[in-house]
Amino acid sequence: MWQKLNPPEEIAEIFRSAPKVVVASTLDELFALSTGTPDNSFYEVAYDVPGKGQTVEATVARVRNGIAVNYVEPYMRRRDPDSLVVGDEDATDKLTYKQIYGEEFEPVRASALEWLKGQELAVFAFTAGQPGMGVDALAIAPLNAGFFALGLAMLQGITPVEELDADFQPKAVLFVAPPFRHTHFKGKQIVVHNRRPDLYEIFSFNLYPGPSAKKGVYGIVIDIGAREGWVAPHCSTVVVVTPYDNAIVIMHEGASGGGKSEMLEQAHRESDGRLLLGENVITGEKRYVTIPRTCDLKPVTDDMAICHPSLQRYHGRMRVTDAEDAWFVRVNHIDSYGVDPSLERITAQPSQPLLFLNIDAAPNSRALIWEHIQDAPGKPCPNPRVIVPRNLVPNVIKEPVTVDVRSFGVRTPPCTKENPTYGIIGLFHILPPALAWLWRLVSPRGYDNPSIVSEEGMSSEGVGSYWPFAAGKMVRQANLLLEQFDQFRQMRYILTPNQYIGAWRVGFMPQWLAREYLARRGNAKFRPEHIRAARSPLLGYALHNVHVEGYQIPRWFLQVDTQPEVGVEAYDQGASMLRDFFLRCLKDFNQPDLTPLGRQIIECCLDGGIVSDYEALIKAE
């Protein structure tokens, strides 16, 4: 049946040569393949690696609620941020294969295709993006890596082969060749993006779906947008409905670990129903908020969105739709029963099988999202995941929505007089559009990131926080983003931290409380008595007075320099760190192709501009 896929000749030759080709049309077929045969409850995904012999990459357990996959190496349980390599010679700001390895990619490409010719294969068709806002695509993986194919099909969808016609023309293909991680790349997660004239190729030389099935396909969507003039934001989106039936739409962006999935969750409550606002890391004091009824949430997107021109019907505010069929949900913060009853209920007794990663589950048991595999004795994996189809998410919205608030999340470390850091962001800050654009250019990866293999200190994920997944030019993406900020002037922009506010450990509570507060305010403008220019100009406006359901948030959660454990001197040192980080990152964008407005905004930052200077560059309506 592979002929119905209309493959290019080079791929057709792979299919003709392979000893077996299974063309899947449904998730059920891929689910059956995930453990070798439907009768197997446990399966080892292994390959013969020259010099190493039979090498097990992952184990797969068939459980009552789906498939549980665990990788042998802890390194393979998180995405390596340096996994993307560009194999072609088209315009790019990323390191190319030739620059890194000193040779052309073509010989390795030919070896990978030749290796696939000798394998039993699992193949299926899908759309990278959404119909009308994406391209026809193929996935080609070893048959014994059925779980990987299942994950990709859940995330991006699967097109039944019987529904294909002559109009199906693959413009993208994902090849999976796991042994090459060992034979060519010293065990590293490498995913090569190879942009040929008529086919966008992704070679996944590892079996962790994060950099390939998830972010690799995202790179294809970003490339489509760059060529057609639109953006695929790295964001979650949610319709927030207050107890009084008012509704706003919040779009929350940020680097990995920036709270995108958490924005779709209800605020986590204590056993007595209160919300823990924060715990002081020095004094041990705890502060609580009592909100009898929080807002209802109607999720729209979890990680990848599309801002296609065909969606933009309303002047002043942009519209987004989801780019995925399922969500790759991180559950490291769910460490015991009852933390998130809604997600626990969905995943424990789903109406269709789910795919669990880095969850400790025995064959034929029930995978529970708080049972995380251990990287070492007493050290749980920081990146347990579950792939949840959108149709299982309660109250999910399938149609495009119009955004009211565009939020950006940053993982922040504790900041004290003894140890000043950039953890000086208050509960949330109001940003002028021009400053909000700058935050997306630098996109701090932030503190203690659970999603990726990361280095110490502050690092950047770059334009829109999706730059790690893109293979093109940074300035092209910066210009497309700026066009949004300049065009849609009736939107509000906020910045919110997670993990710490100064000396207070807060987790994701700041963005949950910001969501409750902003939804209750609706689109009312902030009066002067509610906000103050933040001490650090890069933080825009700090809140001066916030009430949520009658509870007044203490000022030291809003303006970190007022915390006695921090003070002005430590705050200013943190602000200096933040400014140095911005200056270091923004140099990459000061290029001739940057629009004049973009150059003005960056020069404003370089010259030490204040919040009113940013407001003058793009005037909100």
Q: Looking at the domain assignment, is residue 527 inside a domain?
A: yes
Q: What would the pLDDT profile of 467-492 be if each residue is shown by its tens digit?
A: 999 999 999 999 999 999 999 999 99
- Taking residues 222-250, what's their average pLDDT? 96
Domain count for the chain: 2
Q: 303, 524, 304: which is closest to 404 by C-alpha?
A: 524
Please report whether residue 114 resides in a domain: yes
Of the candidates 173, 205, 228, which is a domain's last residue? 228
**Concatenated DSSP letters of 582-611:** HHHHHGGG-STTS-HHHHHHHHHHHTT--H
Which of 532, 620, 536 lies closest to 582, judged by CA? Answer: 536
pLDDT at position 257 is 85
Q: How confident is the model at residue 613 (pLDDT cuts 50, 70, 90)?
A: very high
For residues 217 and 272, membership in a common domain is answered with no
Q: Which of 182, 209, 228 is the last residue of a domain?
A: 228
Nearest Cα to Cα of residue 265 among 354, 342, 346, 350? 342
- Decide: helix, strand or coil at residue 271: coil
- pLDDT bin (cut points 50, 70, 90) of residue 233 is very high
Whether residues 430 and 542 share a domain: the answer is yes
Q: Does residue 275 share a domain with residue 193?
A: no
Tokens of 462: 């770059």
CATH (domain of 529) = 3.90.228
Give the tens place of pLDDT for each residue, 75-105.
Answer: 999 999 889 999 999 999 999 999 999 999 9
71 and 194 part of one domain: yes
- Tens digits of per-residue pLDDT, 173-192? 999 999 999 999 999 999 99
Q: Are residues 150 and 284 in the same domain?
A: no
Q: How far is CA 98 from the centre of its chain?
A: 28
Beta bridge partners of residue 444, listed in sequence order: 460
What stretches of 449-503 adopt beta strand conformation (E)?
A: 492-501
Residue 337, Cβ neighbours under 10 Å: how many?
13
pLDDT of residue 550: 87
What the block records as the tokens of 163 is 């529904």
Share of the chain above pLDDT 90, in %: 89
Instruction: Using pLDDT thresholds of 50, 70 and 90, give the confidence band for residue 516.
Output: very high
Return the SS3 of 265: coil
Instruction: Tell whether the model's pLDDT for residue 389 goes beyond 70.
Output: yes
Each as own residue / partner, the long-range contacts of residues 37-42 (CB below 8 Å, 24 or more positions apart, any chain) are 41/363, 41/364, 42/363
Residue 456 pLDDT: 54
159 and 279, same structural domain? Answer: no
197 falls within a domain: yes
List the end-to-end C-alpha distance of the chain, in Å, as a whole number.
56
Residue 300 lies in a domain: no
Identify whether 365 is part of a domain.
no
Give pLDDT tens digits for 410-462.
999 999 999 999 999 999 999 999 999 999 999 998 777 665 555 556 788 88
Which secondary-structure segment (H or E) carries 54?
strand 53-63
Q: Residue 585 corresponds to which tokens in the numbers above?
A: 């990152």
155 and 16 co-located in one domain: yes
Query: Domain residues for 419?
Result: 266-294+405-504+516-617
Residues 446 and 592 in one domain: yes
Any idea what the Cα angle at residue 578 is, between residues 541 and 610, rounded to 5°?
40
CATH of the domain at 48: 3.40.449.10
Query: For the chain, how many residues are written?
Result: 621
Instruction: Identify whether 137 is part of a domain.
Output: yes
Mean pLDDT of 598-616: 96
Average pLDDT estimate for 140-166: 95
**Containing H/E element for 20?**
strand 20-23
Q: How far is the C-alpha of 4 from the C-alpha of 164, rounded, in Å?
A: 7
- Give the span between the Cα atoms of 94 and 348, in whole angstroms: 41
**Which of 57, 54, 58 shows the shortest CA–CA distance to 69?**
58
pTM of the model: 0.94
Is 277 found in the same domain as 156?
no
DSSP 460: B
**Confidence (pLDDT) at 468:** 92
> Are 384 and 261 contacting, i.e. CB atoms less than 8 angstroms apart?
no
CA angle (215 as vertex; 355, 178 as ends), nearest 5: 70
Cβ within 8 Å of residue 240, ≥6 positions away: 247, 248, 249, 250, 295, 296, 297, 298, 515, 518, 519
> Which domain-ending residue is among 228, 256, 282?
228
Confidence (pLDDT) at 460: 86
pLDDT digits (tens, 9 = 90+) for 125-145: 999 999 889 999 999 999 999
For residue 313, what pLDDT band results from cuts at 50, 70 and 90? confident
Question: Is residue 278 domain-shared with residue 214, that is, in the same domain?
Answer: no
Tell me the C-alpha distance between 420 and 566, whole Å. Answer: 8
Predicted local distance difference test score (pLDDT) of residue 455:
53
Predicted confidence band at 529 (pLDDT cuts at 50, 70, 90)?
confident
Counting residues of the chain whose pLDDT is more than 70, the rounded percentage is: 99
Q: Write the DSSP string, 364-403.
A: TS---TT-BPEEETTEE-S--EEEEEGGGSTT---S-EE-
Q: Is residue 366 domain-resident?
A: no
Shared domain check, 281 and 161: no
pLDDT at position 340 is 87
Q: What is the mean pLDDT of the chain?
A: 94
DSSP conformational letter for 458: -
- The verdict on 184 and 290 lying in the same domain is no
Domain membership of residue 311 (yes or no) is no
Average pLDDT over residues 309-323: 90
